[in-house]
Amino acid sequence: MKGEAMAVQEQENVSLPVIPRHIGIIMDGNGRWAVKRGLPRKAGHKAGAKAFERVSEYCEKIGVKYLTAYAFSTENWRRPPEEVEAIMDLLREYLKNAEERREKNSKVRMLFLGDRSALAPDLQEKMDRMERESANKTGITICMAINYGGRDEIAHAARELARLAKAGSLSPEEITPELLEKHLYTRGIPDPDFIIRPSGEQRISNFLLWQSAYSEFIYRDVLWPDFEPEDLRGAIEEFAGRSRRFGGI
């Protein structure tokens, strides 16, 4: 990084005690935000997508290396079809904008976590292409969790290992946490330093179950569409005050 970008980063970093390497966000509260305003829930998702643009740009600016955002869980299919469709349309729009930014030399690397086989073929194709075309980018890595579930991810990894064992290329004794990790959707990505959940809920809702073993949790009462970069700055400051021991003393 050089010149202007460096200057902006230095300016933004002023008074930030630490820049976390990996932040996870459970983008929750879109529906309540809309209902409070007498709007359809999909308006909340739209406002939530805007909040994500603001927050991801901020993360990029201050030098966060990985940002993982929970956009649609394996359980969210239980919602009415028109709400699911509205979320998928927003994903389509996000991919279109990301593609335009990539063409304008954005440094963002994009990854999608989750079982994409259940998504519409055009979405799968766009996601595959985006990952391929941004694979060598050196800026922030944005991991968008879509049709993602922590339990599904671990079962998926176990299935892959079982296949290898059945084929005779892996013995059960070789299965270690390190090996299993190589079969998760997040392979190669460091565990999140902290996970933030807005909207007042204090639960993990099947997000990054394996990877959050030692992540710090930060909760906020603000609904996701109202979430501002300033809220993330506050969370980073709170995180910096936590004492992480990883089982040691």
Contact status: 72 vs ligand IPE (CB under 6 A): yes
Query: Binders of ligand IPE among 149-208, rule CB under 6 A?
Result: 199, 201, 203, 205
Nearest to ligand IPE of 28, 216 (CB atom): 28
216 forms beta bridges with 194
Residue 208 DSSP code? S
195 forms beta bridges with 24, 217
| CA angle 9–27–141, rounded 5-degree value | 40
Nearest to ligand IPE of 27, 113 (CB atom): 27
Q: Sheet harboring 66-73: ordered strands across?
A: 109-113, 141-148, 66-73, 22-26, 194-197, 216-219
Out of 28, 153, 193, 216, name the contact with Mg ion by CB under 5 A.
28
Q: Is 76 a catalytic residue?
A: yes
Q: Are the beta carbons of 123 and 88 closer than 8 angstroms?
A: yes
Q: Is 226 a catalytic residue?
A: no
Contact status: 43 vs ligand IPE (CB under 6 A): no
Q: How far is the CB of 4 from ligand IPE (least distance, A)?
A: 34
- Whose CA is closest to 110, among 151, 62, 52? 52
Out of 70, 94, 112, 194, name the contact with ligand IPE by CB under 6 A.
70
Q: Which residues sit at the interface with ligand IPE, rule CB under 6 A?
A: 26-32, 70-73, 76, 87, 199, 201, 203, 205
